[in-house]
Structure 1
Amino acid sequence: MSDEDYRDVPRKNSEVRALAARVRSFFGVADAEHVDVLDCASRSEIWTVKGVKPLRLDTVSDDKMAGNAGLTSYDGRTIVIQISRRIRHDAFLGDGYARNTTAHELGHAVMHFEKLSAGAVMARRTSRNVTPKWISAYESAEHHARVFAPAFLINDAVARTLSSVDEISVRFGVSRQSAEIYFDQIQSEKDRAASADYVRRVADEVISSMSPKQSPLTFMSDCCSVCGQQTVFPVGHKFMCRTCDTIYDRFQDGDLAE
């Protein structure tokens, strides 16, 4: 199995973003506009799809990372995230790529514990991972993590008020590539919602056009014997006054109601 990418449980982008939101809540940053990703990665535990697991963040010298920006593995007891010294330094200064790399590895920890516990090492290449053609995007562990990272770093409610990729990138301290991924997904959701509204509106119009038209209410020429108004109309085999709601068993032609 290639360590560039792994085939994992199929997940929609919306499902991945929901997992990111849950982890934000676990770390107590659900409503935060700016997430301190290093602080989160330095916690002793993390929520995963397989329950809460021990977590450790290690900073490794750049030369020992061998072309990797980040690595996530499992030592039999603890999920271990490794980032290079340069990535940690840059993330501390707010660099989007470095912050994104750290969140990317948190995504592997959250979603891919089964693979990690089986010995897989999730590596984020500095030159970008290559996904084999036989792995679909929704099954790709790397795709999952790429979607997870911006969803974890971006406050969804605030982001939906912004109108461009650059605004999102600057506002939340994420790489432009991650901002593009997030922005495209939000736009797709808006387009689907607009399309669904249009279909519902057309369906309602069709149903309305097919519904039988109600005939206007026709009143009899005689007046109601109770209220004296000329508002008596037939209801099946009976008669009713619309003004006072009196109901008659019969109403003879030319006679007042009894």
Structure 2
Amino acid sequence: MDDEHDDRKVTRRSNEECRRLAQRTKEHYRIGRTWPVNIGRVLRSRTILTVRGEKPLVYRVVSDFALGLKDAKTELIDGSVVITTKQSVDSSLLWGDRRTRMTMAHELGHGVMHAEEGTVDHRATGATGTTTISKMNASESAEHQAKVFASAFLIDDQRAAELASLLDIALEFLVSVSAAEICFERLQAQREREAAAARVMEENRKFQALINKPQEKDYHLQALCPACRRQTLLPLGTKVGCDGEGCGYIGDHPEDN
């Protein structure tokens, strides 16, 4: 769904910052490197650590009719973060539906980053997180930030990097294929950057070794040794000496003759 009315401009945050906030949230709930994340338990924990500090968390389940075309919404009411969702969505969450898990992690991201008095963040049925605002400036899009947060909250990067495909990621962490694809492509790009950086460092190492290598100088005279007839004469003051194996000749400098 591409609808600017389901999105709004918020404080600028990079994808990396959104992921850091997701990790901080996991630490708050003492999830650690546990997966699949029990998002239902998190929503019923009654507390949330927002960017403005810890606040009460209220999780409400209402009839599908009450929310209409919205799967869920997040708002700040009297100092409490209130996340409201449809009965059908909550039921799907309990069954471990992958898309629903992303939806509710998305709402949790709104609660952590965007909940303000008088504002409501909706998650429309069928929404993808792509909106007019996110296309123009993703770093200021509430929907884009929440999408990045949700992926980082549910997917453990270290484990995901060990998996062979985006489908493996989707199944391992019970997330949507689109979320797994985003994670897989990001990790793949990171691996390519690291490999490129390693190649540059190796080439630099070789170059530095080349330019810093002591240059061997040939101090032998062009004249041949009178004794062994090899080009092995070295200047010894006013004399010359042969450093050829088994020779040992010492005599006058050839140029003096």
The answer, yes or no, to whether TM exceeds 0.5 is: yes
Does residue 1:5 correspond to 2:4, yes or no?
Answer: no
How far apart are 1:68 and its partner, in Å? Answer: 0.8
Matches within 5 A, 1:104-115: 104-113=106-115
Tell me which moved more, 56-65 or 11-20.
11-20
Residue matched to 1:120: 119
Q: Output the amino acid matched with 1:35.
A: V
Q: Output the amino acid matched with 2:37.
A: V
Once the two structures are superposed, what CA deviation does each residue of 1:135-154 show, in whole Å capped at 9, x if it has no partner? Answer: 41122111111111121112
Work out the CA distance in 2 between the residues paired with 1:27 and 1:37: 10
3-state SS of the aligned residue for 1:196? helix
Work out the CA distance in 2 between the residues paired with 1:33 and 1:127: 25
Once the two structures are superposed, what CA deviation does each residue of 1:191-215 show, in whole Å capped at 9, x if it has no partner? Answer: 2211222222222223333225265
Work out the CA distance in 2 between the residues paired with 1:156 and 1:90: 25
Work out the CA distance in 2 between the residues paired with 1:127 and 1:88: 16
Residue matched to 1:224: none
CA contact (8 A) 1:7 1:135 kept: no
Residue matched to 1:49: 51
- Considering only CA atoms, is the larger Rg found in Structure 1 or Structure 2? 2
Residue matched to 2:82: 80
3-state SS of the aligned residue for 1:166? helix
Q: How many residues align?
A: 213
Work out the CA distance in 2 between the residues paired with 1:201 and 1:9: 40
CA contact (8 A) 2:130 2:144 kept: no
Residue matched to 1:146: 147
Residue matched to 2:71: 69
3-state SS of the aligned residue for 1:83? strand
Once the two structures are superposed, what CA deviation does each residue of 1:50-75 show, in whole Å capped at 9, x if it has no partner? Answer: 21111111011111112111100011
> Which ranges of structure 2 fall in alignment gaps of 5 or more residues?
220-257
Work out the CA distance in 2 between the residues paired with 1:184 and 1:76: 41
Matches within 5 A, 1:106-255: 106-113=108-115, 116-117=116-117, 119-128=118-127, 131-133=131-133, 135-211=136-212, 213=214
From the superposition, tell whether residues 120 and 130 of structure 1 become closer, same or farther in structure 2 (CA, over 3 Å).
Answer: farther
Residue matched to 2:42: 40
Q: Among the aligned pairs, what percent are the same residue? A: 34
CA contact (8 A) 1:69 1:84 kept: yes
How far apart are 1:126 and its partner, in Å? Answer: 1.0
TM-score for both structures, normalised by structure 1: 0.76
Q: Output the amino acid matched with 2:13.
A: R
Q: Output the amino acid matched with 2:163.
A: L
3-state SS of the aligned residue for 1:8? coil
CA contact (8 A) 1:3 1:120 kept: no
Q: Output the amino acid matched with 2:109.
A: G
How far apart are 1:9 and its partner, in Å? Answer: 2.4
Residue matched to 1:95: 97
How far apart are 1:99 and its partner, in Å? Answer: 0.9
How far apart are 1:25 and its partner, in Å? Answer: 1.1
3-state SS of the aligned residue for 1:9? coil
Q: Output the amino acid matched with 1:68.
A: K
